[in-house]
Chain A
Amino acid sequence: MSEFLAMGGYAAFVWPSYLIAAIVMLGLLVVSVRTWRDSKSTLEKLQDGRRDRRRPRDGAT
């Protein structure tokens, strides 16, 4: 195991490469999914609001 982690003496170069790639790719994924969820809930709220406003109220003609 320690031999695997040592990467033939190049651990300081191999592991940061994988770590940085993982951080950047997971980070972009999280940000993208979060933006999508936020946009979805905002849109649903707006659509509900519009439906409510269009519903005839008491006394409305």
Chain B
Amino acid sequence: MHRFANPTRFMRLSARILPWAAGLALVLTLAGLVWGLGYAPPDYQQGDTVRIMFVHVPAAWMAMFSYTFMAVASATALIWKHPLADFSAKAAAPIGACFTFIALVTGSLWGQPMWGTWWVWDARLTSVLVLFFLYLGYMALWQAIEDPQKASRAAAILALVGFVNVPIIKFSVDWWYTLHQPASVLRLDGPAIHPSILWPLLVMALAFKAYFVTVLLVRIRSEINLRKIRAMQQARIAEEVGFAAPPAAEITGRT
């Protein structure tokens, strides 16, 4: 595992994975859109609003997946102090925030025709809103602290503390009476959705996952470059001032 955690190797490996991930995201999205919008039948109760599910549910899944990913990467960064884990956590936050935003907005657009309201303060909706604020807080923390090492530690702790919200979101529909429906795909007794709309949903979920991988890799690559730039600039300043330059960067490799 450590072999792949080396930033130089990561740059090489990610350059190879990126075109495949991007291509897969594009193909799956197109397939999911055509299937979901064109071929999947309308629901017998919800009519065509059920098509909102094809963006709402994958976005909501990915909102929780991104946060879990961020929390695991943060724990790895805290314990083993590996820069790549640090970059991964930081890179995942804006992607997770976007997925959460999409889940909230599309949920609202689905709630109005089906529940007769844009918003209710029930457990599921409120805990997802908290997730959105956790993402924003995490990103703000990175921005607020200039020293990347200190910022990384503070942000990682926030990510880990905030992780308590993820199981709350998942089980909110079982623990409390909510307007939001309980899980209908990930159930012990099998999905409660007809295959004709389950399949396009799964295709869209995979498309969102491929999108996540694509944007994540791009953002980690940027982060590696930015750290190198920072190290080089510091080395140059030290050189100009006349001090011995610190080692240019712990990170080397291609851009």
What residues of chain A have their CB less than 8 Å away from a CB belonging to chain B?
A: 4, 7-10, 13-14, 16-18, 20-21, 24-25, 28-29, 32-33, 35-36, 39-40, 42-44, 46-47, 50
Contacts and interface: CB of A to CB of B under 8 A. Distances in A.
A21 B108 CA distance: 13
A18 B38 CA distance: 14
Contact of B109 (A9, A16, A25, A40): A16
Interface residues of B, number: 38
Interface of B: 33, 37-38, 42, 47-49, 51-52, 55-56, 59, 94-95, 98, 101-102, 105-106, 109-110, 112-113, 211, 214-215, 218-219, 221-222, 225-226, 228-229, 232-233, 236, 255
Among A4, A17, A32, which residue has the most Cβ atoms of chain B within 10 A? A17
Given A14-B51, A14-B52, A36-B219, 15 more contacts: A7-B48, A8-B48, A13-B112, A17-B109, A17-B110, A18-B37, A21-B102, A24-B98, A24-B102, A28-B95, A29-B215, A32-B222, A39-B222, A43-B229, A46-B233
B215 A28 contact: yes
A17 B233 contact: no
A17 B94 contact: no
Nearest to B248: A50
A41 B37 CA distance: 41
Nearest to B113: A13
Interface of A is mostly: helix
Contacts of B37: 4, 18
Contact of B255 (A35, A40, A50): A40
Contacts of B94: 28, 32
A24 B101 contact: yes
B218 A40 contact: no
Nearest to A40: B255
Nearest to B215: A32
Given A14-B52, A44-B255, A36 B222 contact: yes
Contact of B105 (A4, A20, A43, A46): A20
A5 to B, nearest CB: 10
A47 to B, nearest CB: 8
B49 A36 contact: no
20 contacts: A4-B37, A13-B52, A14-B52, A17-B56, A20-B102, A20-B106, A21-B55, A21-B59, A24-B98, A28-B94, A29-B218, A32-B215, A32-B219, A32-B222, A36-B219, A39-B225, A40-B255, A43-B228, A46-B229, A47-B232
